[in-house]
Amino acid sequence: MTLADTSEYAGEVRARVESQPGFRVGGKLVERLVEPGQRVRKGQLLARLDPQDFALASQAVQAQVLAASTQRDLAAAELRRFSDLRRQGFVSDAEIERRQAALDAAEAALKQAQANQTVQGNQATYTRLLADADGLVTAVMAEVGQVLGAGVPVLRLAHDGPREVLIAVPEDRVRSVQPGMPATVRLWAGLSPERDAAWRAQVREVGGSADPVTRTFGVRVALAADAEVSLGATAFVRLDASVADGLRPGAGVRLPSSALLRSGDATAVWVFDPQGQTVQLQPVQVLTADGNELVVMGLQAGQEVVAAGVHVLSPGQTVTRFAGPATQ
């Protein structure tokens, strides 16, 4: 039985880059300007929070800046006046130092108030959620009237650019999947009259840990730039495992463990000769396990191998091919 050079998995077409934009501040959502399936441009307004509280806070920090500026000007004026008195000998150096310290403190308070004003100004702009890239809205997670915390996603945005297929690979197969492995992708529902139209693809990323529920590993297969696919479409991915393992396509065969025989320090199988109806031992090399079977190398295409009863055979022994039960 020849080792299947490919394995096929069902998956979903996804954008390579997806983001879930959210507000950097909390508040009440008063407007959402996009719906699922809508295309957006970078910098486009997506949603707004109620700006009233932020406007009041901005007015408060502006008043703090004005008060701090007044205190700084007063401290500077007193320092100049006492400096004149010091030159006339009416005050001591210690008094000048106190006035200088008061001016330094007033200037520090002004800088702090100005920094708060800048921060509050930024907070006010954060009530407007803008698209960070061109793309397609694939889902919304918040509705008008909802009170949101900072960072809570409002929608999901699939960025324009490369597309890929996300598949789930069982943990007993994921070791044979490596980044760079060639693959072929076809859609469950073709976009053209050729239902089986397919695109060449390549494994881009293999998940580092298994999903805690399904116990499968997520594998992302990058599509070619000219592949016309819709986001969310069901796709079938055929992986070329033999190339990833460094094998020549067709060089390995998959056999049940009962077909292998230990002969000295080597592993062999009984090869059936259809001309003489006899069997002969042929050494093989075990490459890896493939599910409940073993992958071996050293057999030629078309050779028939005894699958059971290998321990009771001898070289040159005549055997009869088992045709299997008759079917109606």
* Domain spanning 29-49+128-144+154-160, CATH architecture: Beta Barrel (2.40)
Contact of 231 with 191, CB cutoff 8 Å: no
Q: Which of 2.40.50.140, 3.40.50.720, 1.20.120.1460, 2.40.420.20 would CATH assign to domain 252-312? A: 2.40.420.20
Q: Is CATH 3.30.70 correct for 52-125?
A: no
Residue 1 has pLDDT above 90, yes or no: no
In the chain, count of helices (H) and strands (E)?
A: 3, 20
Q: Which of 2.60.40.1080, 1.10.20.140, 2.40.30.170, 2.130.10.10 would CATH assign to domain 6-14+162-244? A: 2.40.30.170
Residue 130 pLDDT: 94
Residue 2 has pLDDT above 50, yes or no: no
Residue 195 pLDDT: 47
Q: pLDDT band for position 252 (50/70/90)?
A: low
Residue 46 pLDDT: 95
Q: pLDDT band for position 66 (50/70/90)?
A: very high
Residue 251 has pLDDT above 60, yes or no: no
Fold equal for 6-14+162-244 and 29-49+128-144+154-160: no
What is residue 153's DSSP assignment?
Answer: B
Q: What would the mean pLDDT of 51-56 be, rounded to a whole number?
A: 84
Query: Residue 315 burial (CB < 10 Å; 0-12/13-18/19+)?
Result: exposed
Structure tokens at 159: 């960025």
Domain residue spans in the chain? 6-14+162-244, 29-49+128-144+154-160, 52-125, 252-312
Residue 321 pLDDT: 78
Q: What is the pLDDT of residues 312-324, one digit of tens each?
A: 888 898 988 776 5
